């Protein structure tokens, strides 16, 4: 097959065995790669009802047919597992040379099962696998462990590593590589449960493409378009520019979603950050956009753990800025940068970490928790708690479980304002002020998520009244979700989405030049729906019910001051009507279940054999 090796490596860490499992062309044509292929593999490899942290639970690294081509932003990979935070299917994507090296190692995916008895490093070189001891790396920050491995293995190898949070099974620990992260849902904890500190990959095996000249021409064209106005925001200020925009629309989650505006937003805005502290702008592997904005982190006046008295650098995105800043009531930009850097060192998802700490702050202010100094605006408390969460010390042990489980333990009114959907903490979009996005959060297969649903684009357009959600927008939310599933399976960066005039038709052309398949735009639309349905079927298999497709009580019972003196309200009945319209647009049953004809079309049982 052009664009594919036609196999995945199934590595049993307990037994130390490796199997090269063939992938039929029918499978990859129907599920493509990335998240789509990994969703199919989860049906095949994950035992029903498995504990996400059990040895038999698979951890999957999935590539795509575009990886290794000169197409801009194609050096990406997906990591997929059953989430220890949500107990539902979880996928995360990231860019780095790890994707390129893994593709050259001779496979389209890695499926890791079993667990080591002692800390280990999995080394894969041209399909040859060995397992090295990693006792001296255990406990180190991810970046430091990666640097030591690079000095031992040489420049051919690229690594994916976990930090102390993953080792200690924090349910929102990340997997890191080249200072980028497969961040959400606790994939680092799954890797830590397998006693893997790192995976190192290298290889020399390249796959052929069907039409090399067409691929090169498409790469040149796409690169040129990536320099245009559709990506200007990412080059100039990066996603931190969103903070002031959201604040202006009263859609900036503040103090655990108690407000939609933050009085300290101006000090955290992208313009001030850039003028005061930005030191560089960089690109991901094989990317022409250059969205990475690197900031200097001034030394803490208190010294102590982590940064101590030395300065360093950190890559900052809007979601990190919001979660460690306004959501916790912190306006000190230097403190936010220190906290972001600390999350990178420890291997913590910044969204879930910030949201869980903000939730704990409100619990303390309400008298549901007793913790000295834990109040909104206390930046030192945020930094201290990050370390305690990663080590599971004191209150940190409870918060390492995430806001949903912490709320169940705390009790009282806590579950009503714990900021999660299906256990995954909300990102930086106030759902009462962006009500199509509220629908996207409620129905998301991995929980509250801005990367698997682009419904906020509908809210910020003329196609919807963002303060008065309507069932009529459900079809538009479905379209953004389908497009995201396709981009996550090809894989291409979503920052490119604005450069396409007709994404599905152009994606079909790109895939045709790589694979030689005579694809149509409609075939890719069908593939996207198939992938969404495969993810939903996995969740149903693992116990999903329609009661999970909702938002916390806070968002459905409390009003929020909105722009122009209005009040943003999201009554439960309105959200339920939008969800019903979403199910109908997907062709699902009224209770959200997948009808028999869609299950049959997927033919998961046939393909599993």
Give residues with Cβ within 8 angstroms of 143, minimum separation 6. 176, 179, 344, 345
Q: Is the pLDDT of residue 59 over 60?
A: yes
Angle at 263 between CA 297 and CA 314, to 5 degrees: 15
Q: Read off the pLDDT band of 607 (50, 70, 90).
A: low
- For 522, counting Cβ atoms within 10 Å of its Cβ (0-12 exposed, 13-18 middle, 19+ buried), the class is exposed
Spatial contact of 110 and 124, defined as CB atoms under 8 Å apart: yes
pTM > 0.85: yes or no: yes
Q: What is the DSSP letter of 161?
A: E
- The torsion region of residue 46 among left (phi > 0), alpha (psi -120 to 50) and beta comes to beta
Please state, as a whole number, how many other Cβ atoms lie within 10 Å of the Cβ of residue 351. 28
For residue 609, the model assigns a pLDDT of 42
> What gap in Å lies between CA 586 and CA 588, rounded to an integer?
5
Q: What is the residue extent of each domain of the chain?
A: 7-202, 226-425, 435-608
Average the pLDDT over 107-131 and give the result: 97
List, for residues 437-448, the tens digit of each pLDDT value: 999 999 999 999
Report how far residue 68's alpha carbon sits from residue 286's, in angstroms, rounded to the nearest whole number.
9
- Predicted confidence (pLDDT) at residue 496 exceeds the cutoff of 70: yes
Q: Which of 73-87, 211-225, 275-289, 551-565 has the lowest mean pLDDT?
A: 275-289
The rounded mean pLDDT for the chain is: 94
Q: Per-residue DSSP letters for 103-126?
A: HHTT-SEEEEES--SS-EEEEEET
364, 395 Cβ separation under 8 angstroms: no
pLDDT of residue 308: 40
pLDDT band at 270 (very low <50, low <70, confident <90, very high): confident
Average pLDDT over residues 66-82: 96
For 355-366, the pLDDT digits (tens) are 999 999 999 999
* pLDDT computed for residue 599 by the predictor: 87
Total Cβ atoms within 10 A of residue 379? 20
The predicted-structure confidence for 210-264, as pLDDT tens digits, reads as follows: 999 999 999 999 999 999 999 998 889 899 999 999 999 999 999 999 999 999 9
Best CA proximity match to 107, nearest among 205, 29, 191: 205
Among 609, 447, 489, smallest CA distance to 82 is for 447
Class of domain 435-608: mainly alpha
Fold of the CATH domain 7-202: Aldehyde Ferredoxin Oxidoreductase;  A, domain 1 (3.60.9)
pLDDT band at 63, cuts 50/70/90?
A: very high
Mapped onto helix, strand or coil, the DSSP state of residue 280 is strand
**Counting Cβ atoms within 10 Å, is residue 129 exposed (0-12), middle (13-18) or buried (19+)?**
middle
Q: What is the mean pLDDT of residues 415-431?
A: 98
Give residue 310's pLDDT: 41
What local confidence, expressed as pLDDT, does residue 19 receive? 97
Cβ contacts of 234 within 8 Å, gap of 6 or more = 289, 290, 291, 495
Q: Which fold has domain 226-425?
A: 1.10.569
pLDDT of 93 reads 95
pLDDT of residue 518: 95
Q: CB-based burial of residue 58 (10 Å sphere; 0-12 exposed, 13-18 middle, 19+ buried)?
A: buried
Q: Looking at the predicted structure, is the pLDDT value of residue 430 above 90? A: yes
Which pLDDT belongs to residue 301? 67
Confidence class of residue 178 from pLDDT cuts 50, 70 and 90? Answer: confident
User: In this prediction, what percent of the chain has a pLDDT beyond 70?
Assistant: 97
Judge whether residue 400 has pLDDT over 90. Answer: yes
SS3 state at 82: strand
Cα 52 from Cα 171, distance rounded (Å) = 10
Write out pLDDT tens, residues 2-31: 999 999 999 999 999 999 999 999 999 999
Tokens 């904005």 belong to: 293
Given a contact cutoff of 8 angstroms between Cβ atoms, the answer to whether 294 and 178 are in contact is no
């Amino acid at each position: 097959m052009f664009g594919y090796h036609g196999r995945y490596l199934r590595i049993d860490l307990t037994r130390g065995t490796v199997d090269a499992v063939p992938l039929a062309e029918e499978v990859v044509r129907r599920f493509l790669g990335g998240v789509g292929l990994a969703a199919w593999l989860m049906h095949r490899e994950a035992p029903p009802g498995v504990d996400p942290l059990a040895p038999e639970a698979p951890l999957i690294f999935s590539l795509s047919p575009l990886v290794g081509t000169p197409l801009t932003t194609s050096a990406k990979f997906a990591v997929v597992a059953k989430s220890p935070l949500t107990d539902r299917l979880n996928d995360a994507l990231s860019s780095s040379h790890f994707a390129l090296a893994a593709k050259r190692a001779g496979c389209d995916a890695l499926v890791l099962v079993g667990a080591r008895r002692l800390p280990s490093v999995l080394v894969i070189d041209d399909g040859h696998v060995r397992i090295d001891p990693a006792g001296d790396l255990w406990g180190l920050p991810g970046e430091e462990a990666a640097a030591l491995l690079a000095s031992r293995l040489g420049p051919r190898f690229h690594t994916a590593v976990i930090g102390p949070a993953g080792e200690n099974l924090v349910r929102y620990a990340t997997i890191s590589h080249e200072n980028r992260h497969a961040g959400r849902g606790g994939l680092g904890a799954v890797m830590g449960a397998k006693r893997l500190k790192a995976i190192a990959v290298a290889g020399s095996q390249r796959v052929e493409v069907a039409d090399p000249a067409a691929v090169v021409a498409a790469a040149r064209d796409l690169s040129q378009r990536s320099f245009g106005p559709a990506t200007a925001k990412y080059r100039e200020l990066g996603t931190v520019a969103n903070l002031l925009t959201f604040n202006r629309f009263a859609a900036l989650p503040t103090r655990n979603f108690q407000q939609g505006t933050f009085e300290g937003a101006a000090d955290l805005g992208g313009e001030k950050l850039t003028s005061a502290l930005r030191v560089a702008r960089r690109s991901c592997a094989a990317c022409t956009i250059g969205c990475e904005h690197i900031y200097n982190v001034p030394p803490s006046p208190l010294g102590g753990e982590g940064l101590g008295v030395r300065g360093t650098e950190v890559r900052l995105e809007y979601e990190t800025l919001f979660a460690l800043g306004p959501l916790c009531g912190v306006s000190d930009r230097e403190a936010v940068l220190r906290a972001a850097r600390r999350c990178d060192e420890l291997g913590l998802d910044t969204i879930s970490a910030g949201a869980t700490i903000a939730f704990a702050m409100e619990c303390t202010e309400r008298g549901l928790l007793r913790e000295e100094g834990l109040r909104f605006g206390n930046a030192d408390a945020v930094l201290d708690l990050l370390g305690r969460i990663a080590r599971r010390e004191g209150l940190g042990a409870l918060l390492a479980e995430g806001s949903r489980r912490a709320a169940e333990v705390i009790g009282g009114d806590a579950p009503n304002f714990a900021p999660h959907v299906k256990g995954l903490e909300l990102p930086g979009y106030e759902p009462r002020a962006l009500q199509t996005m509220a629908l996207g959060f409620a129905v998301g297969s991995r929980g509250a998520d801005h990367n698997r649903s682009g419904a906020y684009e509908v809210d910020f357009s003329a196609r919807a009244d963002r303060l008065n959600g309507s069932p009529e927008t459900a079809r538009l939310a479905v379209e953004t979700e389908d497009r995201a599933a396709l981009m996550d399976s090809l894989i291409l960066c979503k920052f490119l989405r604005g450069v396409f005039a007709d994404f599905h038709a152009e994606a079909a052309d790109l895939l045709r030049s790589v694979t030689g398949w005579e694809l149509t735009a409609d075939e890719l639309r069908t593939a996207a729906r198939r992938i969404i349905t495969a993810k939903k079927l996995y969740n149903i298999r693992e116990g999903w019910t329609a009661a999970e497709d909702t938002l916390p009580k806070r968002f459905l019972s409390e009003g929020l001051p909105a722009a122009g003196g209005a009040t943003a309200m999201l009554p439960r009945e309105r959200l339920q009507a939008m969800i019903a319209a979403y199910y109908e647009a997907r062709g699902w049953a009224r209770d959200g279940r997948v009808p028999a004809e869609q299950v049959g079309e997927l033919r998961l049982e046939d393909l599993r054999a």
